Structure 1
Amino acid sequence: MPRLSRKAALLTAATALTGLAAAPSFAYAVDATGPGTGGTSDRQHGRDLTLNGSGECTIPMKEQIPGIPWPLQRVLLDELWQDTKGKGVRVAVIDTGVDNKNPQLSSAVDVSAGKDLLPPDKEDPSGNAGKTNGTVDEIGHGTKVAGIIAARPRKGTGFVGLAPEATIIPIRQNDEKNSGSDKTMATAIDHAIAEEADVINISQDTTKALAPDSALGLAVRRALEKDIVVVASAGNDGMDGKTKNTYPAAFPGVLAVASSDRNNERAAFSQAGDFVGIAAPGVDVVSTVPGNGQCVDNGTSFSAPYVAGVAALLKAKYPKWKPHEIVAQIEQTAERGINGRDDFVGWGVIDPVRALNGESGPPQQATPDPGPARAPAPEPAELTLHETPQERDERYATYALGIGVVLVAVVAGTATVVRDTRRRSAR
């Protein structure tokens, strides 16, 4: 059963009652059918590849967020970075482009390695499509993803990337007009391979059934054979709690990332499935936006790069480890609520500092902890917003009992008063 926090359960019930959008809105998807309509489900329009973030931040932004974001507050960064900050590791961000004008990303992005896979658009007055080396991001999605991985420190803000010396390869494969597809995603992966990426982050998904020998499946396999760690978001259609596969996250060898909240519980929107390997913060996530500053957003899109940043640190610290060993290390060292894995947060919520402690050597696969199995976390009680017949009967019985007690007390009191009055009269 879904492991939701009490807050998430309340939010879900309130959403059903009021019609408000509790999960991130799915405003951007990949398909050739034209731009999406914000506030409606992408699945209703037959779209294939969905960007797993809300896209609700206003850009360009100017303000910086001064405090340390909560996903970083739970990490001892000095300990995390005592051996490496990811220098020399190349992370491909296959997304909507990465704007390198943001001061926290200007020195992080390898412009010469970037690629714009969108076709030139005659209706685009900017003329950017197909000509940007992946460094124009008109909706901000890819820039947020890149910032979570490798944003450089900056005075005036507590936000920084998990691997702040890693290099970003920007690959623009999607936009607000839904111009990409699973086939262009495969091309993007091949470009990342050609540019010698060590880690690939994909914050998009499709529920269209894709076989391992599909174009996208084969591209993922080629990346894994080149010892590239592939990290992908699980998707944001999890409000119903039902399990289903999303791709490329469900392909063998891909580390599929769900979203967790501040309580280390599955975020209500996070897609569940037997392919989920790990969870990472995906609620109220701070990151960079095009131009300047930061904003806050929600979605598995922003959980995946959190994990990709940790994978980059592991690549830097243990360059001889294979992708499956890095994946197993991240899963094995996760903070677990149960002794094993489930379909909602996988092996648990990522613990970056523990993941970087690989002195005993890499595990070949994640395994349950030693000792007796722990029971799954209890499912939150269903929130009922109306009275059931049984509750009504119990309430009436309580009322009747209470009234009876009161009547008995009144009768007894009245009898006592009458008795005392008669005694005084007899005297």
Structure 2
Amino acid sequence: MISGLVSQVSKEKKKIFAMAMTIAVGFSSAAQLPAMSAEMKLKNPTNRPFVRRAIQRPDFQPDVLLVVTDAKADKDEIKEALEDVHATATQTVRAGNLEMILIKTEKGKLEETETKLTKDKKHFSAVGRNYRFAANYVPNDKDFNVSWHLAAMHCPKAWDKGTGGAKVAVLDTGCEASGKDLQGKIEKGFDANTAAAQILGGLLLATGTLPGVTDLAGAAAAAASGGAQHDRHGHGTWVASCIAATMNNGKTSAGIAPSSTIYPIRIADAAAGGKAIATDFSVACAMAKVFTSGARIVNLSYGAPYVGFHEPTIHAPLHKMFSEFYYVRQGLLFLSAGNDAVFDATVNLPYINMVSAINRNGSLTDFSNYGTIVDFTAPGEEIFCMGIDGEQAEVKGTSFSSPIVAGVAALILSKNPALPNFAVEQILKASCVNSTPGWNGYYGWGMPDAARALELTP
């Protein structure tokens, strides 16, 4: 947690902070963004109108709601409020002053209970359903072509100034730590997808420690803490590889920030080729664990257009966690825009960085979502990374453009860990290559240039 940053840093760090503030103010105007790179130019698509399509509401867990209360709230009053609507608290996650409770409603009365609890502002600051989402990726066969995205973003030039070192939390299917491209880079992490982890999440997630193993509950918690250094599905390993794969080892491709470390948190699980489904509650458990992990950067490559994890109304409880991470803990959250090829007019939120995907021609990919949600873009097609078998894999999807931008943020924070999150975002924006001056609905502020970003980092 990095709250009260200015008052706690040394005089030297205060000087750095002042420089960061100057950068943030100096590049706040769209007119001051640098010119496009001669090597890579972005082009607006001609067949992608800004028109919203009808999208089916996501699946959700029946007869289950998530509610957020203040951790200091009167427990008896909360219990009575739930009893009044015939609901039962089953699981709890605590993070700072936030407490999220997973409750069981009467069968068939989810909507009625949701309406009543939403009106109870005294006890509940947010109420929502436990939605389910799959990862945003499109699998491809293996290939051994050149990783064009590293050259397009001037990573080799950036690596002359630094190769990373910041910790990035990857909320996904786990990460295969045994592969040679990620050996020594993957921390133990946490499995937020097991029943035991979620039932005992309150103590485990809030404190980062385990209860004693002398009783059944303690033993279950210990089993749940097996970490996330293995990945049956592959998606989490692909994402982590995009960020931190080792360079100069003759194996697969290199990550954007090859000296950074990954804190894996499993929010979904499935065998290779299966659907790895994440829920609001598994993501909430993961975010609570992020708060004690030491990571200031989070990548979440899951969601859907309009109704994905970025939508603040139907995911109100989860957004309490997201905003806490950004405003209180100085974190940076990167989400994939999705692969439905639709215009998404959901409100653009300051505490989320949504990333669309481009191809090697500098155009929006044929699958990437776009619209008001987009903050940045990055390569998301013909991406070469490490698979769970340790070999090279070619993947595509906004699932991979998001961690690529997160990797540039890791380079920035590695050079200057004292920077506040908004200064990192301003540096990213100022470094961008774009199809138009300033922001647009296809690419947001554009594609960050890694070398330029490090030049701008004090």
| TM class, shorter-length | 0.5 to 0.7
Quote the residue 1:115 is aligned against: 190
Task: Supply the distance in 1 between the matched residues of 2:177 and 2:285 (Cα, whole angstroms).
Answer: 22
- Closer, same or farther in 2 for the Cα pair 1:217/1:180, shift >3 Å? same
Q: Give the match for residue 48 of structure 1.
A: 132
Q: For the residues of structure 1 that align with 2:315 and 2:393, how far apart are their CA atoms?
A: 39
Quote the residue 2:345 is aligned against. 244
Partner of 2:322: 220
Match of 1:72 in 2: 150
What is the identity, as a one-letter code, of the residue corresponding to 1:218? K
Q: Which SS does the other structure have where 2:287 is aligned? A: helix
Alignment CA distance shift 1:53-1:90 (3 Å): same
Q: Which runs of 5+ in 2 are unaligned?
A: 1-41, 49-57, 63-129, 197-222
CA distance in 1, matches of 2:436, 2:376: 13
Q: Percent identity?
A: 27
1:229-378 paired onto structure 2 within 5 Å: 229-238=332-341, 240=342, 242-245=343-346, 250-358=348-456
Rounded to whole Å, the distance in 2 between the matches of 1:274 and 1:138 is 35
The residue type equivalent to 2:452 in the other structure is R
- In 2, the alpha carbon distance for the partners of 1:355 and 1:178 equals 34
Find the counterpart in structure 1 of residue 292 from structure 2: 194
* AA partner of residue 105 (structure 1): L
Change (3 A) 1:49 1:302: same
Deviation (angstroms), 1:229: 1.4
Q: 1:229 to 1:47 in 2, by over 3 A?
A: closer
Distance 1:30 1:67, change over 3 A: farther
Aligned residue pairs, count: 306
Unaligned runs of 5+ in 1: 13-28, 34-45, 58-62, 122-128, 362-427
- Residue 141 of structure 1: aligned partner: 235
* 2:375/2:444 contact within 8 Å kept: yes
Q: Partners in 1 of 2:420 and 2:59 — Cα distance?
A: 31
Give the counterpart letter for 1:258 in structure 2: S
- Alignment-mate amino acid for residue 245 of structure 2: A
Kept in 1: contact 2:237–2:387 (CA 8 A): yes
Distance 2:333 2:186 in 1: 19
CA distance, structure 2, for counterparts of residue 233 and residue 193 of structure 1: 21
Please give the per-residue CA displacement for 1:173-192, whole angstroms capped at 9, x wherever unaligned: 01235553112212211111
In structure 2, relative to structure 1, the CA distance for the partners of 1:178 and 1:72 (3 Å cut) is: closer
Q: Which residue of 1 aligns with 2:159?
A: 81
The structure in which a higher percent of residues are strand is: 2
Of 139-148 and 73-82, more deviation after overlay is shown by 73-82
- What CA deviation, in whole Å up to 9, does each residue of 1:84-106 have, x standing for no partner? 2112x110000011010111112
Alignment RMSD: 2.8
Instruction: Give a deviation string over 1:62-114, Cα, whole Å, max 9, x none.
Output: x8x65531111324444202232112x11000001101011111211011xx1
Q: Which has the larger radius of gyration?
A: 1
3-state SS in 2 of match to 1:98:
coil
* TM-score, normalising length: structure 1: 0.66
Name the stretch that deviates more: 151-160 or 347-356: 151-160
Using the TM superposition, name which of 133-142 and 298-307 deviates more: 133-142
CA deviation after TM superposition for structure 1 residue 194, in Å: 0.8
Distance in 1 separating the partners of 2:284 and 2:384:
29
Evaluate the alpha carbon distance shift between residue 158 and residue 49 of structure 1 in structure 2; reply closer, same or farther with a 3 A threshold. Answer: closer
> Could you tell me which amino acid in structure 2 is paired with residue 217 of structure 1?
H
Instruction: Provide the TM-score with structure 2 as the length reference.
Output: 0.61
Q: Structure 1 residues 306, 188: closer, same or farther in 2, change over 3 A? A: same
Shift of 1:333: 1.6
State the 1:32 CA deviation.
5.1
Q: Who is 1:93 aligned against?
A: 170
| Aligned partners of 1:104 and 1:154 also within 8 Å | no
Deviations 1:18-40, CA, capped at 9 Å, x for gaps: xxxxxxxxxxx98659xxxxxxx
The 2-side partners of 1:31 and 1:153 are apart by 41
Contact kept in structure 1, 2:268 and 2:276, CA below 8 Å: yes
The 3 A distance-change label for structure 1 pair 32 and 151 is farther
**1:211 Cα deviation from its structure 2 partner:** 3.1
Q: Quick one: structure 1 residues 5 and 343, their matched pair in 2 at CA, closer, same or farther if it must change by over 3 Å?
A: closer
Letter in 2 for 1:305: P
Task: Assess, with a 3 A threshold, how the Cα gap between structure 1 residues 213 and 235 changes in structure 2: closer, same or farther.
Answer: closer
